[in-house]
Amino acid sequence: MLDDRDRKLLTLLQRDAEASVTELAERVALSVSACSRRIARLREAGYIARQVAILDRRAMRVPTTVFAMLRTTRHAADWLDSFRRAVADIPEIVEVHRLTGHYDYVLKIVLPDVEHYDKVYKDLVGRVELFDVSASISMETLKDDTALPTGFA
């Protein structure tokens, strides 16, 4: 079970995983060694899955976001395996969610421009059979955060 210091540490680490243990310890009112032990315990317990660098999309020249909503008539395990491999192999597809409701899946796709979507679309439909693909272009990102809420654990 997490306590308030653990939650604060996780919140701080989500904002800046490169913060020094000294800085983190000061912010959560712990000694450096106690803070270091807590961070190690949080890693071992699986609260910290990994540490990554978050790249600037404009600098990486993929500022455009397209959300593709997919419907399929196939729900067998072999189709799902093919679909998982296909989306894993297309680097522009950064998120895939299986849904309830009218669509079966939604894909978040990052691209250099809208025209590049056609390449991704053709690549995907060339790999797996789909019944319907509908895409929407994001006009503006109102919130883009990787931090999870820490109050539920």
CA of 85: how far to CAs of 79, 116, 124, 127, in Å? 10, 21, 10, 9
pLDDT band for position 143 (cuts 50, 70, 90) = very high
Overall average pLDDT of the 52-74 stretch:
97
Q: Does pLDDT of 120 surpass 90?
A: yes
**pLDDT value of position 2:** 95
Based on the domain organization, do 121 and 84 belong to the same domain?
yes
Confidence at 153, pLDDT banded by 50, 70, 90: confident
Task: Find the CATH number of the domain harbouring 31.
Answer: 1.10.10.10
Binned at pLDDT 50, 70 and 90, residue 48 comes out as: very high
Give 33-43 pLDDT, tens digit per residue: 999 999 999 99
pTM value is: 0.90
| Number of residues in the chain | 153
In sign, the C-alpha dihedral spanning 14, 18, 21, 26 is negative
Going through the chain in order, the beta strands assigned E by DSSP cover: 64-71, 93-98, 105-111, 132-137
CA-CA distances (angstroms) from residue 139 to 68, 108, 134? Answer: 14, 14, 16
Averaged confidence pLDDT in the chain:
97
pLDDT at 1: 86
Percent above pLDDT 70 for the chain: 100
pLDDT tens digits, residue range 97-112?
Answer: 999 999 999 999 999 9
Q: Does residue 19 sit in the same domain as residue 73?
A: no
Whether residue 128 lies inside any domain: the answer is: yes
Range(s) of the domain holding residue 91 = 64-137
Question: Residue 93: which CATH number?
Answer: 3.30.70.920
